């Protein structure tokens, strides 16, 4: 097992050619070179092979490396982009391009370039958003380019939003998703270089029309937040030709020591284990097999064969000591094997300034990437003079990613428009206490995603009268989605109703009343491996019409439904659809008859309002972020 894995993931990630084989193959290679595609040194990119062979890089002699340069496009082919949301018409290409690995040696990386077919109508060249995508998993089929084609990419909210704005989008797969390679997961320098180099490669795609002077923003979340942060720190020295005008980085694992301690033995254990595997293949000095036991070898084989959502469930609450020789803790491993600590610490962000404005954000209740270490990164960047606009979102890791998209997109639009960037540097001292909802200890046991007081807006439209009543301002939905047990618990809070409606579109009538939940809402929730969020729940509420009034004349009623209204609350949509900033619920309810208000008003209200097919249309969105 050890030998096989080492052979798959060489230090450079290249297929190798042994010297003994060169003489016997030289003649054949020279005769067929015109037919098998470009050499690594090819100055003109060509259309790449069909099928899986696209992901097999050109062979190079071990020790020599490719003759091209970082950012050079090797080959391309038309691609399909299916994010399970409506997109404008686009042209898309899969690309294989040259980048650099963790040690600066040449490496081959795959990715996707997406360009709207509509003509860019803004000033200057079409802007580019280079996306650092979030954790996908270590199996080859988890590559973002493959998942977008298959319709299983769950972290596509940023891509969808950017394309809808007319921007060109470049999405790197990162190093290690070529055939017979292993992803160098969480190796920051390599990731950052891949994020920058795909912008260079995208310019060479025939028909893409991407200018070398195109203003560019790097945007990513989670692993992608780390990747674009590294891109920002590296850009002045590594890719000064990329016209970077901003970095949007969310859920950033900027200090892997703290992230590893937080995830180990928690719901994020899979990420800690994947990080160990990725760093080992980024830097063989890490020496993974020096401290791995047989269970560790089995765990690695399993992680290398599956994608992230499945891995999160399978390795929940596992501890690294289960997979180390002698049951060593991670701290003990670092003490005994100094190279492990060295490699982990080399991934730390905040040692160099980012020369462009940064929109920097994190979920307060993040269960995978501790918010405290990202606060420290904000302080570090501020001390280096970075224009860092840091926001804390009232939610966890999983939902902050898509629901922050509208706010991030507004910031991106302002950067492309050349507006002055805001900064929260100096707003809080480094020692300032975080809000009470901040998660400072790991989540163990079941993976529970909170919806903390999401704001409800919408209308209730009566079938008989056609009158629409707005949901009162301040209405909220709070929920706890247990993804482990697939159960959902929720609570509705709806302020008293005090609204003027027009009867027959003419007569203004003031209505006062309330919709009071009879108890908590319960149901089922699930997140599929392809990123489809489904929930099915039902609650109930009593409706009270307290009074109606016309001008200065008010009639007290006190009419209440004779039994609760049943409220079905069900959705099933891709997580990518949450890039609108929330989710919608559209349903129909039956309003029971009214009573408790006499023999006249009860039957009158029942005749006007009671019955089936009354439409409820709701939108739920998280509270706004906090500047920090």
pLDDT at 36: 35
* 3 has a pLDDT exceeding 90: no
pLDDT at 62: 67
What do you get for the CA distance between the two ends of the chain, in Å? Answer: 48
Model confidence at 507: pLDDT above 90? no
**pLDDT value at 84 more than 50:** yes
Same domain, 385 and 513: no
Give the chain's largest Cα–Cα span.
103
User: Quick one: which of 517, 532, 511, 434 has its CA closest to 476?
Assistant: 517
Instruction: Looking at the structure, tell me whether residues 500 and 606 fall in a common domain.
Output: yes
Nearest-5° angle of CA 318, CA 191, CA 45? 135
Query: What pLDDT band is residue 63 in, cutting at 50, 70 and 90?
Result: low
Burial 575-607 (b: 16+ CB within 10 A, else e): bbbbbbbbbebebebebbbbbebeeebbeebbe
Q: Report the chain's C-alpha Rg in angstroms.
A: 28
Task: Tell me whether residue 439 is in a domain.
Answer: no
Average pLDDT over residues 290-314: 97
Residue 410 and residue 454 in one domain: no
* 411 and 533 fall within a common domain: no
Helices (H), 9-156: 19-32, 144-150
What is the band of 6 on the pLDDT scale with cuts at 50, 70, 90?
Answer: very low
475 is a domain residue? yes
| Angle of helix 256-263 versus helix 338-345 axis, rounded to 10 | 110
d(CA 322, CA 614): 56
Check whether residue 381 and residue 240 sit in a common domain: yes
> What integer is the mean pLDDT of 338-364?
98
Work out how many domains the chain is built from and give that number.
2
Tell me the residue ranges of DSSP E strands in 7-50: 46-47
In a domain, 164, yes or no: yes
In this structure, what token pair is assigned to residue 281? 């293949």
**Residues 402 and 466 placed together within one structural domain of the fold:** no
Domain end residue (candidates: 416, 435, 463) = 416
Mean pLDDT (whole number) for 489-495: 95
- Inform me whether the pLDDT recorded for 86 exceeds 60: yes
DSSP-derived secondary structure letter, 126? P
With 60 as the cut, is the pLDDT of residue 254 above it? yes
Q: Select the more confidently predicted residue: 61 or 546.
A: 546
Q: What confidence tier does 59 reach under pLDDT thresholds 50, 70, 90?
A: confident
Q: Which two tokens stand for residue 28?
A: 């054949």
Give yes or no for residue 66 having a pLDDT over 80.
no
Query: Residue 65's pLDDT is what?
Result: 62
Alpha helices in 488-597 (DSSP H): none
570: confidence class by pLDDT, cuts 50, 70, 90: confident
Alpha carbons 318 and 2: distance in angstroms, whole number? 22
pLDDT at 552 over 70: yes
Same domain as 475, residue 354? no
- Same domain for 469 and 369? no
Model pLDDT for residues 445-454, shown as the tens digit of each residue = 999 999 999 9
Residue 566 has pLDDT above 70, yes or no: yes
Q: Is residue 463 part of a domain?
A: yes
* CA dist 477 → 292, 411, 492, 536 (Å): 46, 27, 5, 15
Note the pLDDT of residue 297.
Answer: 97
Domain edge (last residue) among 366, 396, 416: 416
What predicted TM-score, i.e. pTM, was given to this entire model?
A: 0.90
Please state, in angstroms and rounded to a whole number, the distance separating the CA atoms of residues 463 and 466: 5
Predicted confidence at residue 8, as pLDDT, reads 31
Specify the CATH number for the domain of residue 386: 3.40.50.1820
Stretch 200-212: mean pLDDT: 98
The answer as to whether 233 is a domain residue is yes
- Same domain as 233, residue 381: yes
**Is residue 16 predicted with pLDDT exceeding 80?**
no
Domain boundary pick from 416, 437, 463: 416
Closest CA to 405 of 162, 611, 83: 162
Would residue 440 count as lying in a domain?
A: no
Residue with tokens 């970075």: 386
pLDDT of residue 19: 32
Q: Residue 107 forms beta bridges with which residues?
A: 99
Average pLDDT in the chain:
91
Half-sphere exposure of 282 (CA within 13 A, CB side): 29
One domain for residues 32 and 164: yes
Angle (CA) 357 235 349, round 5°: 75
pLDDT tier, 61 (very low <50, low <70, confident <90, very high otherwise): low
HEC profile for 435-503? Answer: CCCCCCCCCCCCCEEEEEEEEEEEEEECCCCCCEEECCCCCEEEEEEECCCCEEEEEEECCCEEEEEEE
| Structural domain includes residue 150 | yes
Helix or strand or coil: residue 427? Answer: coil
Contact 264, 257 (CB under 8 A): no
Q: Could you tell me the residue range of the domain that residue 459 belongs to?
A: 448-627
Q: Categorize the per-residue pLDDT at 10 as very low, low, confident or very high, splitting at 50, 70 and 90.
A: very low
DSSP three-state, residue 392: strand
Give the start-end residues of each E strand in 337-470: 358-363, 388-393, 448-461, 468-470
**Chain segment 357-398, per-residue pLDDT in tens:** 999 999 999 999 999 999 999 999 999 999 999 999 999 999
Q: pLDDT at residue 455 above 50? A: yes
Whether the pLDDT of residue 195 is over 60: the answer is yes
Average pLDDT over residues 234-244: 98
For residues 280-294, give the mean pLDDT: 96
Residues 557 and 456 in one domain: yes
Q: Is the pLDDT at 33 greater than 90, yes or no?
A: no
**Burial label, 382 (beta-carbon count in 10 A; 0-12, 13-18, 19+):** buried
H/E element, 414: helix 405-416
Q: Is residue 69 part of a domain?
A: no
Q: How far apart are CA 231 and CA 129, in angstroms?
A: 13
Q: pLDDT grade, residue 466 (50/70/90)?
A: confident
Give yes or no: residues 411 and 453 share one domain: no
């Amino acid at each position: 097992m050890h030998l096989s894995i080492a052979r798959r993931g060489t230090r450079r990630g290249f297929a190798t050619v042994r010297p003994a084989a060169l003489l016997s193959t030289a003649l054949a290679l020279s005769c067929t070179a015109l037919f098998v595609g470009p050499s690594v040194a090819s100055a003109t990119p060509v259309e790449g092979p069909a099928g899986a062979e696209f992901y097999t890089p050109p062979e190079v002699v071990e020790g020599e490396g490719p003759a091209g340069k970082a950012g050079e496009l090797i080959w391309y082919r038309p691609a399909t982009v299916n994010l399970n949301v409506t997109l404008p018409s686009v042209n898309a290409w899969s690309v294989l391009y040259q980048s650099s690995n963790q040690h600066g040696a040449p490496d081959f990386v795959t990715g996707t370039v997406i360009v709207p077919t509509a003509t860019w109508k803004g000033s200057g060249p079409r802007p580019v958003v280079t996306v650092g995508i979030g954790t996908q998993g270590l199996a080859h089929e988890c590559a973002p380019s493959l998942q977008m084609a298959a319709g299983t990419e769950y972290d596509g909210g940023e891509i969808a939003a950017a394309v809808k704005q007319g921007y060109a989008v470049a999405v790197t797969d990162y190093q290690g998703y070529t055939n017979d390679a292993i992803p160098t997961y969480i190796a920051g320098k390599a990731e950052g270089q891949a994020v920058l180099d795909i912008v260079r490669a995208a310019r060479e795609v025939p028909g893409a029309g991407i200018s070398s002077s195109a203003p560019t923003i790097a945007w990513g979340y989670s692993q992608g937040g780390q990747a674009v942060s590294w891109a920002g720190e590296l850009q002045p020295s590594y890719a000064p030709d990329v016209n970077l005008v901003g970095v949007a980085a969310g859920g950033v694992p900027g200090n892997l020591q703290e992230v590893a301690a937080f995830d180990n033995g928690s719901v994020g254990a899979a990420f800690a284990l994947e990080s160990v595997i990725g760093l080992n293949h980024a830097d063989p000095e890490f020496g993974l097999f020096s401290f791995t036991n047989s269970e560790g070898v089995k765990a690695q084989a399993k992680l290398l064969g599956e994608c992230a959502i499945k891995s999160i469930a399978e390795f929940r609450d596992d501890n690294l000591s289960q997979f180390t020789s002698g049951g060593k803790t991670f701290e003990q491993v670092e003490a005994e094997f100094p190279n492990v600590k060295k490699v982990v610490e080399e991934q730390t962000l905040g040692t160099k300034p980012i020369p462009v404005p940064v929109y920097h954000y994190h979920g307060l209740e993040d269960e995978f990437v501790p918010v405290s270490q990202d606060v420290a990164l904000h302080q570090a960047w501020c001390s280096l003079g970075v224009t860092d606009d840091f926001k804390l979102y009232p939610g966890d890791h999983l939902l902050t990613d898509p629901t922050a998209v509208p706010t991030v997109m507004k910031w991106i639009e302002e950067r492309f428009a050349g507006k002055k960037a805001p900064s929260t540097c100096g707003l809080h001292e480094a020692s300032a206490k975080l809000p009470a909802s901040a998660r400072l200890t790991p989540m163990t046991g079941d993976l529970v995603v909170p919806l903390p007081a999401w704001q409800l807006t919408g209308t209730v439209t009566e079938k008989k009268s056609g009158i629409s009543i707005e949901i009162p301002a301040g209405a909220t939905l709070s929920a706890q989605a247990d993804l482990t047990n697939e159960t959902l618990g929720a609570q509705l809070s709806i302020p008293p109703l005090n609204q003027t409606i027009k009867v027959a579109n003419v007569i203004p009538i003031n209505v006062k009343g309330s919709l009071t939940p009879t108890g908590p809402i319960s149901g089922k929730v699930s997140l599929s491996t392809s990123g489809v969020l489904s929930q099915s729940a039902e609650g109930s509420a009593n409706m009270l019409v307290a009074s109606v009034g016309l001008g200065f004349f008010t009639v007290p009623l006190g009419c209440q439904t004779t039994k609760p209204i049943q409220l079905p609350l069900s959705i099933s949509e891709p997580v990518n659809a949450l890039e609108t900033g929330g989710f919608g619920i559209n349903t129909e309810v039956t309003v029971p008859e009214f009573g408790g208000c006499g023999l006249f008003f009860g039957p009158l209200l029942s005749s006007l309002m009671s019955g089936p097919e009354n439409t409820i249309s709701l939108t739920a969105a998280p509270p706004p972020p906090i500047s920090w």
